[in-house]
Copies of this chain bind each other. A is one copy, B any other.
Amino acid sequence: MKTTPKTSAKVTIFEVAAEAGVSFATVSRVINNDVHVKPETRQRVLKTMQRLGFVANRQARSLAGGKSNTIGLLVPDLGTAYIGEIIRGIDTELSWSDLDLILYTTHRTAAKEANYVANLAHGMVDGLLLVLPRNPVDYIETLTLRKFPFVLIDHQGTAENCPAVGATNWQGAYTATEYLIQLGHERIGFITGSMDLGCSEDRLKGYRSALRTHHIPDKPELVYEGDFFQPDGYAGACALLDLENPPTAIFASNDVMAMGVLDAVRNRGQRIPDDISVVGFDNIPQSAMVYPPITTVQQPLEQMGRVAAQMLINILKKNEKESNRIELPTELIVRSSTSSPRDRAG
């Protein structure tokens, strides 16, 4: 009952070997495209494999061979379109290789993050893609020391010198702010993202730099600290509009919060863009579909995913990290949520 090869049971290289009349080592060679196999023999083995419906056991291969042909993707959560776009890019790129993808969600728990990284780096996966890492310092050193392949996505916190792909957050925020200034806005509210993320800081800095360049005082009361979620966009807009001297435009650090702003403004009976101009960041698909369509800073999310996957694959192949940090350009997408404040008169 033990070695009885039932028809529907798993087929191992041994069975294939026996059927094909070769040793199992040869079968292994065929599987691994080893050159040292006579074409004739290879064909015979290949046919047998097909006939028997042989499927190599990845666990075993990885145990014996030392690599898993799997990469791990660590994301904070799955709640927003933002992550979805990035995953899509990664998936696209991976579909051309034969790497599998294991998905880990940290649910915004820094502890879980470090924990996962430790586990994953321990044989489960060959490389790691870390989206929006919270506390990379906790493990980047370990990873680097061990020479474990990884790429950071959308992170620009510490000045660590490691592979990462991000977007020109500073530039994007600067451009958008400047655009509002050129429309004639002088009181521009700003809602930040989670300030423990590098990108949030960069966006805030870009906003401030634009103001400075145009000699507009940077009033602290016009900056509201948000967290990238819609409710905070709503709250931020309310806070800003409640000011004695409210802003004529609000720049939210992402589209999701900008939608919260839209709601808040509408609920107060004000119109967009006539009364208040609104700008977002990311250019997630919804931003074009809401009413009014939101002027936003496009972040090439899907491309970021693709590029990151490419980088990781390269590192895996060459066994050395080549490029260090790639910044993909952001672009201002002007839609209908912004106009000159002078329009009010009209």
Chain A contact residues, CB within 8 Å of chain B: 8, 10, 53, 55, 57-60, 62-63, 68, 70, 78-79, 81, 84, 87-88, 91, 95, 100-105, 107, 118-119, 122-124, 145-146, 259, 285-286, 289-292
Contact = CB atoms under 8 A, between A and B. Distances in A.
B78 A91 contact: yes
A81 B78 contact: no
A318 B290 CA distance: 47
A102 B105 contact: no
Complex copy number for this chain:
2
Given A78-B91, A100-B102, A122 B84 contact: no
Contacts of A100: 102, 104, 124
A337 to B, nearest CB: 12
A168 B58 CA distance: 39
Nearest to A145: B8
A119 B123 CA distance: 20
A88 B95 contact: no
Given A100-B104, A101-B102, A105-B95, A123 B78 contact: no
A122 to B, nearest CB: 4
Nearest to A259: B289
Contacts of A119: 55
The 8 closest A-B pairs by CB, nearest first: A291-B291, A55-B122, A289-B290, A78-B88, A59-B63, A59-B62, A57-B123, A103-B103
Contact of A81 (B81, B118, B122): B81
A141 to B, nearest CB: 11
A68 B118 CA distance: 18
Contacts of A68: 59
A80 to B, nearest CB: 9
Contacts of A289: 259, 286, 289-291
A339 to B, nearest CB: 17
5 contacts: A53-B118, A58-B123, A102-B103, A103-B103, A286-B286
